[in-house]
Amino acid sequence: MSRLIRSAVLSNYVEVARSVGLDPYRMISEFRLPPASLNDPDVKVPVGAVGRLLEESAARSGKLDFGLRLANKRTVANLGALALLVREQPTIRKALDVMAGYIFLHGESLLLNMKEQDGEVKLSLAFDVDRPVPIRQGVELGVGFLHRSLQQLFREHWKPQMVCFTHAAPPKKDAHRKFFGTDVLFNQDFNGIVCRAADLDAAVPAADVKMARYVQQYLDTIAARRKTTMTANVRNASIPCCPQDCARRTRLRRDLASTVAPCIGISRRRVRLFLR
Residue 11 belongs to a domain: yes
| 11-60 residue pLDDT tens | 999 999 999 999 999 999 999 999 999 999 999 999 999 999 999 999 99
| 67-123 residue pLDDT tens | 999 999 899 999 999 999 999 999 999 999 999 999 999 999 899 999 999 999 999
Highest-pLDDT range among 81-85, 143-147, 152-156 = 143-147
Do 147 and 228 belong to one domain?
Answer: no
Does position 195 have pLDDT exceeding 50, yes or no? Answer: yes
Do 110 and 231 belong to one domain?
Answer: no
Name the residue range of residue 107's domain.
Answer: 4-201
**Which pLDDT value is given to residue 128?**
82
Domain count, the chain: 2
- pTM of the predicted structure, to 2 decimals: 0.80
| 171-181 residue pLDDT tens | 999 999 999 99
Residue 192 belongs to a domain: yes
Does position 251 have pLDDT exceeding 60, yes or no? Answer: no
Residue 208 belongs to a domain: no
Do 47 and 177 belong to one domain?
Answer: yes
Do 238 and 157 belong to one domain?
Answer: no
Residue 47 belongs to a domain: yes
CB 175 within 8 A of CB 99: no
Interatomic CA distance for residues 119 and 105, integer angstroms = 30
Residues in the chain: 276
Nearest alpha-carbon partner for 253 in 232, 234, 276, 236 = 276
Interatomic CA distance for residues 5 and 81, integer angstroms = 14
Do 218 and 179 belong to one domain?
Answer: no
Chosen domain end from 201, 230, 251: 201
Chosen domain end from 181, 201, 221: 201
Do 149 and 264 belong to one domain?
Answer: no
Interatomic CA distance for residues 195 and 118, integer angstroms = 11
Residue 239 belongs to a domain: yes
Q: Give the CATH number, domain containing residue 48.
A: 3.90.1520
Interatomic CA distance for residues 64 and 67, integer angstroms = 8
Interatomic CA distance for residues 127 and 139, integer angstroms = 8
**Beta bridge mates, 43:** none
Do 165 and 246 belong to one domain?
Answer: no
Do 186 and 87 belong to one domain?
Answer: yes
Where do the H-state alpha helices sit in the chain?
13-19, 24-30, 47-61, 66-71, 81-87, 92-102, 136-153, 174-180, 209-241, 244-249, 253-264, 268-274
**Which pLDDT value is given to residue 252?**
44
Do 108 and 236 belong to one domain?
Answer: no
Does position 233 have pLDDT exceeding 50, yes or no? Answer: no
Interatomic CA distance for residues 235 and 242, integer angstroms = 11
Do 160 and 220 belong to one domain?
Answer: no
Residue 207 belongs to a domain: no
CA distances from 168 to 59, 93, 164, 171, 224 (A): 15, 30, 11, 9, 39
3-state secondary structure of 39: coil
Chosen domain end from 201, 222, 255: 201
**Which pLDDT value is given to residue 225?**
73
Do 72 and 179 belong to one domain?
Answer: yes
CB 102 within 8 A of CB 85: yes
- Mean pLDDT over 227-234 rounds to 46
- Mean pLDDT over 217-237 rounds to 64
Rounded to 5 degrees, φ, ψ at 20 are -110, 15
Do 176 and 268 belong to one domain?
Answer: no
Residue 164 belongs to a domain: yes
Rounded to 5 degrees, φ, ψ at 190 are -155, 160
Q: DSSP for 208-249, please give it.
A: -HHHHHHHHHHHHHHHHHHHHHHHHHHHHHHHHHS-HHHHHH
Residue 206 belongs to a domain: no
Looking only at the bridges linking them, the beta strands covering 162-164 and 183-185 are parallel
